[in-house]
């Protein structure tokens, strides 16, 4: 397939409005994901300026919850961005294969994703493409992929009639209407991802893009089957008015409190042995512990019998970073 910069392209993982996404390797055999910008966008000086700014911010973002941008060339004849490659299934792959997550798994997933979104926003970025395929489930817990090109991609798409960036059922109403979205749009997508994880339903049901976009603008999501201690925060995230949505930290705090209450109730239940207690070492330690629990919960999700699919499964898609 050729080479880009120091990377040999191995195969196509997917694509976006502005270019292709490839699995690639270094000369030492390490795997990376390389997004190659299409020539017509690379020829746009404004696109390159926006991409340069985003890549600089994303490169400085180092988190165990976010796939890192490791290299880029936004000034050469061929513009490209290289990110960490994670050999892990997407949330959609896991739910399609094993059914929805158990309630504790949904809470833990939400805690991790809310913290990831908070970190993205603190870096001055907006993801704009969070969905069930841009969340990977690694052995260390959830990872958000596709950070670092959202603003440039949305701006490029704005010049094309009818072009939208992202999965139609996960786009916030303001993205549908205006094409762009700020930090509140990521919170809407976060709520959509957690609804899918909890119910095996895409947030606004099946159908073509036009039907999904209409429902995003005019219908409330179906929260049936969502745990009562999770449903209110999901409803708040999915509010059509972006001003009414919580910030990621509030989402994380609500879900953390719900998880703590559930753990306390389980400990106090008759016949339940008290777990060994270890000194807390801050938010990172608690999140790492939660991620380990999440892995166990994922292994059990649907292990007995996966429920019937609430609507026909979409065509399988590759585990890939998407802009």
Average of pLDDT values for 33-47?
88
- Tell me phi and psi for residue 32, to 5 degrees: -140, 165
Share of the chain above pLDDT 90, in %: 56
Question: What Rg value do the Cα atoms of the chain yield, rounded?
Answer: 20
Q: Give all strands (DSSP E) within the chain, no chain letters.
A: 3-4, 7-16, 19-25, 31-37, 69-73, 80-84, 135-138, 141-144
Domain 91-300 in the same topology as domain 3-84: no
Cβ–Cβ under 8 Å, residues 86 and 136: yes
Q: Tens digits of per-residue pLDDT, 215-225?
A: 999 999 999 99
Comparing 112-116, 272-276, 284-288, 313-317, the range with the smallest average pLDDT is 313-317
DSSP, res 307: P
Task: Provide the pLDDT for residue 310.
Answer: 53
Q: What's domain 91-300's superfamily in CATH?
A: Transferase(Phosphotransferase) domain 1 (1.10.510.10)
Partner residues linked to 24 by β-bridges: 9, 32
Task: Provide the pLDDT for residue 40.
Answer: 85
320: Cβ–Cβ under 8 A, 6 or more apart, which residues? Answer: 13, 14, 21, 33, 133
In the three-class reduction of DSSP (H, G, I as helix; E, B as strand; rest coil), residue 129 is classed as: coil
Q: Tens digits of per-residue pLDDT, 164-197?
A: 667 888 899 999 888 778 999 999 999 999 999 9
Q: Report the C-alpha gap between 200 and 194 in whole angstroms.
A: 10
Higher confidence at residue 215 or residue 156?
215
Average of pLDDT values for 134-162?
75
Is the pLDDT at 44 greater than 90? The verdict is no
Strand 80-84 and strand 31-37: the pairing is antiparallel
Q: What's domain 3-84's superfamily in CATH?
A: Phosphorylase Kinase; domain 1 (3.30.200.20)
Cβ–Cβ under 8 Å, residues 120 and 197: no
Closest Cα to residue 93, out of 319, 322, 323?
A: 319
Is the pLDDT at 108 greater than 70? The verdict is yes
All structural domains of the chain with their residue ranges: 3-84, 91-300
């Amino acid at each position: 397939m050729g080479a880009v910069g120091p990377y040999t392209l191995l195969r196509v993982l997917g694509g976006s409005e502005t270019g292709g996404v490839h699995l690639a390797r270094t000369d030492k055999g390490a795997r990376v994901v390389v997004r190659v910008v299409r020539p017509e966008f690379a020829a746009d000086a404004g696109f390159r300026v926006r991409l340069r700014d985003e890549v600089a911010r994303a490169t400085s973002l180092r988190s165990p919850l976010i796939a890192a941008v490791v290299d880029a060339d936004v000034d050469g004849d061929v513009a490209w961005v290289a990110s960490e490659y994670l050999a892990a299934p997407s949330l959609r792959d896991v739910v399609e294969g094993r059914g929805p997550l158990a309630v504790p798994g949904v809470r833990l997933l939400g805690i991790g994703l809310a913290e990831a979104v908070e970190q993205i926003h603190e870096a001055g970025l907006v993801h704009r493409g969070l969905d069930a395929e841009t969340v990977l489930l690694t052995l260390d817990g959830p990872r958000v992929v596709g950070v670092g090109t959202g603003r440039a991609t949305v701006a490029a798409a704005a010049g094309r009639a009818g072009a939208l960036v992202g999965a139609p059922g996960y786009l916030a109403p303001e993205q549908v209407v205006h094409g762009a979205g700020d930090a509140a749009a990521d919170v809407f997508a976060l709520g959509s991802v957690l609804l899918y994880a909890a119910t095996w339903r895409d947030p606004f049901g099946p159908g073509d893009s036009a039907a999904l976009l209409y429902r995003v603008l005019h219908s409330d999501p179906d929260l049936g089957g969502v745990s009562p201690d999770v449903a209110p925060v999901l409803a708040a995230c999915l509010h059509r008015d972006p001003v009414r949505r919580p910030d990621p930290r509030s989402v994380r705090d609500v879900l953390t409190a719900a998880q703590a209450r559930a753990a306390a109730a389980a400990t106090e239940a008759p016949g339940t042995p008290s777990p060994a207690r270890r000194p807390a070492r801050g938010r990172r330690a608690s999140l790492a512990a939660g991620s380990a629990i999440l892995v166990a919960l994922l292994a059990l999700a649907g292990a007995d019998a996966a429920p019937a699919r609430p609507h026909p499964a979409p065509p399988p898609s590759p585990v890939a970073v998407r802009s």
